């Protein structure tokens, strides 16, 4: 397989700082001309906009937040992830699979992703505990 | 919103099967007790220009004169989510999926913040558009009905759904008499037609077709919205009198139990 193939790398974790750092490491292992960028949470600005809501508007439940998360993910897929993949580049989604798992619990699936790529993304998950493991996993995937 | 009658259970511990059973029992007692006036949820559905808002106002006035404690909720009106949708609509930034997900979020927030608390307190809630609006419009935009239905789970079913049936021509004529349909109202995001009036006609034809299917699937009460305002109103009164005597069903148990658990901090 060509080393120039499109690739979606998902980075997930409970620490936002660690996720961001791992995303940078993952992309650092990719040739500059092949990089499609890092897609991060709230690219749509939905959650940023929630911050300015009046207190009387009420606190959103987990289910409401999950629908907003799904809307944000649909935005990221449309404007960041799919265009990078269609251009044959490597894109890092941080976070991604965690949200997918949560969405699965609700029986949801972002319809912008086809089933084959969705399955690939889930099946290709690598649990990494260090920067070296992240870099090695990306390196191996690019050489496959 | 009056919360003081929402019971607290200081004894039962969180998330146990026993607690869940207790919650379901409390929901059953609350809504099936024949000695108290139960909360009722009445939805008004139909395409733009079908006259449902006029009928909703007449219906509310009549109900209040009959002694009902009435609360109204409108589509896309959550104080939390509406501004998010409005700003994105204004720059035409929403895909069909995002449009659908955000309206489902708005609906869920209103269900939890306004509709269920009002029903729990025995009020009569009139919904000027309900989740069926989302289903009809989203499917008309090309999304899958099953996918859209999942966004609204756990489902909350109205006790009565009045569907105001008009033809696409009537809808277009009534809307066109007062305004030019906006970009999303005209479905220009999916029709790719530049003329909003022409786009509206094409889009509302699809929406009405979906409504007609939903009316059959979900057993709506269809009102001929081409009739006079007075005839429709008296018809609605009579239908309501029959419908309000229906016994409470178990359909809404999951939605109410989940809301109750959230309210008590027991997810």
Q: Can you give the CATH number for the domain in which B66 is found?
A: 3.40.50.300
Q: Is residue B24 a part of any domain in this protein?
A: no
Average pLDDT value for chain B = 89
Check CB contact of B7 with chain A, cutoff 8 Å: no
Q: Please give the Cα distance from B159 to A12 (Å, whole number).
A: 43
Residue B244 has pLDDT above 50, yes or no: yes
Check CB contact of B25 with chain A, cutoff 8 Å: no
Residue B235 has pLDDT above 60, yes or no: yes
Q: Is residue B3 a part of any domain in this protein?
A: no
* Residues B103 and A70 sit within 8 Å (Cβ to Cβ): no
Segments forming the whole domain that contains residue B173: 34-252
- Cβ-nearest to B97 among A56, A64, A74: A74
Q: Is residue A104 a part of any domain in this protein?
A: yes
What is the structure's pLDDT at A98? 62
Q: Is residue B267 a part of any domain in this protein?
A: no
What is the structure's pLDDT at B14? 45
Check CB contact of B142 with chain A, cutoff 8 Å: no
Confidence of residue B197 (pLDDT cuts 50, 70, 90): very high
Q: Is residue B177 a part of any domain in this protein?
A: yes
DSSP secondary-structure letter at B264?
T
Q: What is the pLDDT along chain A (144 residues), one digit of tens a residue?
A: 444 688 888 887 766 777 888 889 889 988 999 999 999 989 999 999 988 888 889 888 878 988 998 899 899 999 999 999 999 999 999 887 565 555 555 444 444 445 555 555 555 556 666 777 777 777 777 776
Q: Is residue B76 a part of any domain in this protein?
A: yes
Do A109 and B84 count as a contact with CB atoms less than 8 A apart? no
The total domain count for chain A is 1
Dihedral over Cα of B34, B37, B38, B43: its sign: positive
Q: Is residue B183 a part of any domain in this protein?
A: yes
Model confidence, pTM = 0.85
**Cβ neighbours of residue A116 closer than 8 Å, sequence gap 6 or more:** none
Confidence of residue B3 (pLDDT cuts 50, 70, 90): very low
Q: Please give the Cα distance from B43 to B74 (Å, whole number).
A: 10
Nearest CA in chain A to B103: A67
Return residues 83-112 of B near A (CB < 8 Å).
Answer: 83-84, 87, 95, 97-98, 101-102, 104-105, 108-109, 112
Segments forming the whole domain that contains residue A59: 7-143
Residue-wise DSSP of B216-238: HHTT-EEEETTS-HHHHHHHHHH
Q: Is residue B126 a part of any domain in this protein?
A: yes
Do B109 and A61 count as a contact with CB atoms less than 8 A apart? yes
Do B105 and A67 count as a contact with CB atoms less than 8 A apart? yes
Q: Is residue A1 a part of any domain in this protein?
A: no
B89-119 pLDDT, tens digit per residue, is 999 999 999 999 999 999 999 999 999 999 9
What is the structure's pLDDT at B6? 47
Q: Which two tokens stand for residue A135?
A: 């870099």
Nearest CA in chain B to A111: B97
B143-170 pLDDT, tens digit per residue, is 999 999 999 998 999 999 999 999 999 9
Q: Is residue A139 a part of any domain in this protein?
A: yes
Q: Please give the Cα distance from B227 to B19 (Å, whole number).
A: 51
Do A49 and B84 count as a contact with CB atoms less than 8 A apart? yes
The total domain count for chain B is 1
Q: Taking the mean position of all CA atoms in its chain, how far away is CA B213?
A: 17
Q: Taking the mean position of all CA atoms in its chain, how far away is CA B39?
A: 15
B37-94 pLDDT, tens digit per residue, is 678 999 999 999 999 999 999 999 999 999 999 999 999 999 999 999 999 999 999 9
Residue B143 sits at φ, ψ, to 5 deg, of: -85, 160
Using a CB–CB cut-off of 8 Å, the residues of A that contact B are 44, 46, 49-50, 53-54, 56-58, 60-64, 67-68, 70-71, 74-75, 78, 106-112
Do A67 and B150 count as a contact with CB atoms less than 8 A apart? no
Q: Is residue B261 a part of any domain in this protein?
A: no
Taking Cα atoms as reference points, which of B14, B56, B72 lies closest to residue B265?
Answer: B14
* Residues B156 and B107 sit within 8 Å (Cβ to Cβ): no
Determine the average pLDDT of the residues in B251-257: 84
């Amino acid at each position: 397989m060509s080393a120039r193939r499109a690739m979606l790398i998902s980075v997930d974790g409970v620490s936002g700082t660690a996720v961001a750092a791992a995303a940078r490491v993952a992309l650092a292992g990719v040739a500059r001309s092949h990089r499609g960028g890092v897609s991060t949470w709230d690219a749509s600005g939905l959650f940023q906009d929630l911050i300015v809501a009046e207190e009387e508007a009420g606190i959103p439940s987990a289910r409401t937040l999950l629908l907003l998360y799904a809307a944000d993910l649909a935005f990221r897929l449309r404007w960041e992830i799919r265009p990078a993949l269609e251009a044959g580049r490597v894109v890092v989604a941080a976070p991604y699979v965690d949200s997918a798992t949560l969405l699965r619990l609700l029986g949801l699936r972002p319809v912008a992703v086809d089933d084959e790529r969705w399955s690939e993304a889930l099946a290709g998950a690598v649990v990494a505990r260090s920067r070296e493991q992240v870099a090695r996993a990306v390196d191996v995937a690019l050489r496959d | 919103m009056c919360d003081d009658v929402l019971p607290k259970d200081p004894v039962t511990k969180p998330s146990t099967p026993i607690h869940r059973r207790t919650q379901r029992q409390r929901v059953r007692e609350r809504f099936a007790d024949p000695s108290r006036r139960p909360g009722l949820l009445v939805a008004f559905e139909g395409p733009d220009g079908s006259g449902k808002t006029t009928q909703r106002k007449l219906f509310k006035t009549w109900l209040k004169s009959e002694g009902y404690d009435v609360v109204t909720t409108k589509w896309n009106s959550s104080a939390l989510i509406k501004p998010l949708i409005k700003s994105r609509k204004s720059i035409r930034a929403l895909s069909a999926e995002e449009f659908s997900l955000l309206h489902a979020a708005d609906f869920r927030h209103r269900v939890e913040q306004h509709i269920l608390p009002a029903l729990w307190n025995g009020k009569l809630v009139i919904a000027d558009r309900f989740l069926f609006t989302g289903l009809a419009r989203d499917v008309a935009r090309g999304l899958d009905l099953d996918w859209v239905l999942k966004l609204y789970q756990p489902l909350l079913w109205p006790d009565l759904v009045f569907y105001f049936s008009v033809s696409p021509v009537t809808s277009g004529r009534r809307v066109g008499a007062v305004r030019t349909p906006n970009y999303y109202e005209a479905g220009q995001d999916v029709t790719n037609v530049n003329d909003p009036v022409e786009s509206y006609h094409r889009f509302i034809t699809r929406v009405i077709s979906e409504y007609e299917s939903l009316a059959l699937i979900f057993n709506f009460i269809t009102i001929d919205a081409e009739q006079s305002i007075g005839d429709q109103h008296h018809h609605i009164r009579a239908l309501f009198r029959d419908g309000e005597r229906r016994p409470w069903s178990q359909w809404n148990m999951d939605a109410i139990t989940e809301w109750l658990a959230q309210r008590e901090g027991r997810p």
